[in-house]
Chains A and B, each alone.
Chain A
């Protein structure tokens, strides 16, 4: 059970107010005369779609008060899914209008159409581009950095053109409260962009770090050790996530999310474990000590203090061990006496990241590490294959239903492990996951083309 439940509910209530305020005002405030059902349906879908779309500036603005109470990967997942819904609702707005009254198709002629219609066309074109570049980024060959620039550009353009359209059609927005609401919503959206692109980078710039060590680990992974410059380090909780900018100003949109892999008892020495995955991460081994770095974080709730338990079970695949290592290192620093189990899945024995350190941690902590290898070496006596229900059942302690679970890895692994835990009657409330979404996104094509079998 999270300690932050009340604050979560508060922000969910704020979310519902922001999404539904335009519709509630449509329903309950004085309004102009009604028109046909289909026209009203089209207009109200447009209102709902735009309110939902504008709201998408918020979960990705990395607001500290949201980042503290909601898991970061969930915020981004919700942003992604709600954006698709907002896209469909918004698209239904002109489509219904055109079907109901084909004469309105003339509004698509940007030469003769009034400015309010031109703005709507511009917003719709940008919206289609935004969704296409987000959903098909890899297929379009867009780098992460270029995509983020385009995403910002398209988002701001859509918001500006759509607001211009809404305010200048001036039918329902002729009602002062509705007009005032849309202006206020527009200001909130603009504030989010100003915050994430100007205020936040400026704050980060004032807390620089530098790379002091680049350590080669197993499995094409590097540990990047950073120390603060001119300050004592920003406190974090092991397992949380931060955006890392290496060698350039945080004002440049070239930052990447990673989990803290070091003990949170030492904010003056921060470690990120980074696996080479074929993009920015491929060059991490060539980063030189002394390189300037900036950390935007911490974010997320995937940490021991958010989910206080009696005994812990950690389950990770590959580089999903990074936040788990942060937690184990923290527990070792705290001289923790809890019973701990770590189910660690890897392709081969050679690729088991932090293998030696895990052996050492087993002597310091009340920790049992269960290695599960997809391709075990000859004479391997441990578990092989994937982290299945059978594997869990063979090793979990007798009191496993009262343990707190942390799972980190690619999404198929998380889904599979969660299903297994459910079959073992572990309450969902005790299971916390961090999806290696970005890693998963990069690896997805390869995984499915190789007929990856979910455990």
Chain B
């Protein structure tokens, strides 16, 4: 049960980080290609 929650927390963390990092990079630097 707790391991399941922990896995969800880790996946949510990674997904949110990648999303925010991408938004910021595009916002500041434009599209990569």
Residues of A within 8 A of B (CB): 12, 15-16, 19-20, 23-24, 26-27, 31, 34-41, 44-45, 48, 52, 70-71, 74, 77-78, 81-82, 85, 89, 428-429, 431-433, 435
Contacts and interface: CB of A to CB of B under 8 A. Distances in A.
B10 A38 contact: no
A385 B14 CA distance: 40
B2 A34 contact: no
A433 B1 CA distance: 7
Interface of B: 1-6, 9-10, 13-14, 16-17, 20-32
Given A12-B9, A428-B4, A41 B29 contact: yes
Contacts of A71: 2
Nearest to A41: B25
Given A16-B16, A74-B3, 13 more contacts: A20-B16, A23-B21, A27-B24, A38-B25, A38-B32, A41-B29, A48-B17, A48-B21, A74-B2, A77-B6, A82-B10, A85-B14, A429-B1
Contacts of A74: 2-3, 5-6
B27 A27 contact: yes
Contacts of B21: 23, 41, 44-45, 48
A429 B24 CA distance: 38
Given A77-B6, A432-B2, A89 B25 contact: no
B27 A432 contact: no
Contacts of A429: 1
A48 B4 CA distance: 24
A44 B13 contact: no
A40 B26 CA distance: 8
15 contacts: A12-B9, A35-B29, A37-B25, A38-B32, A40-B24, A41-B21, A41-B29, A41-B32, A44-B24, A74-B3, A81-B6, A82-B10, A85-B10, A432-B1, A433-B2
The main secondary structure of chain A at its interface with chain B is helix
B20 A37 contact: no
Contact of A52 (B2, B13, B24, B30): B13
B2, B14, B23, B26 pick with most chain A CB within 10 angstroms: B2
Contacts of B24: 23, 26-27, 40, 44
Contacts of A26: 24
B27 A78 contact: no
A70 B2 CA distance: 9
Contact of A431 (B1, B14, B30): B1
B4 to A, nearest CB: 6
Contact of B23 (A16, A19, A27, A35): A27
Nearest to A78: B6
A23 B20 contact: yes
A38 B22 CA distance: 10
A40 B29 contact: yes
Contacts of B32: 37-38, 41
A24 B17 contact: no
A45 B23 CA distance: 12
A85 B29 contact: no
Contacts of B1: 428-429, 431-433
B2 A38 contact: no
Nearest to A49: B17
A417 to B, nearest CB: 12
Contacts of B5: 74
A300 B23 CA distance: 38
A433 B16 CA distance: 28
A81 B10 contact: yes
B9 A34 contact: no
Given A48-B17, A48-B21, A37 B4 contact: no
A71 to B, nearest CB: 5
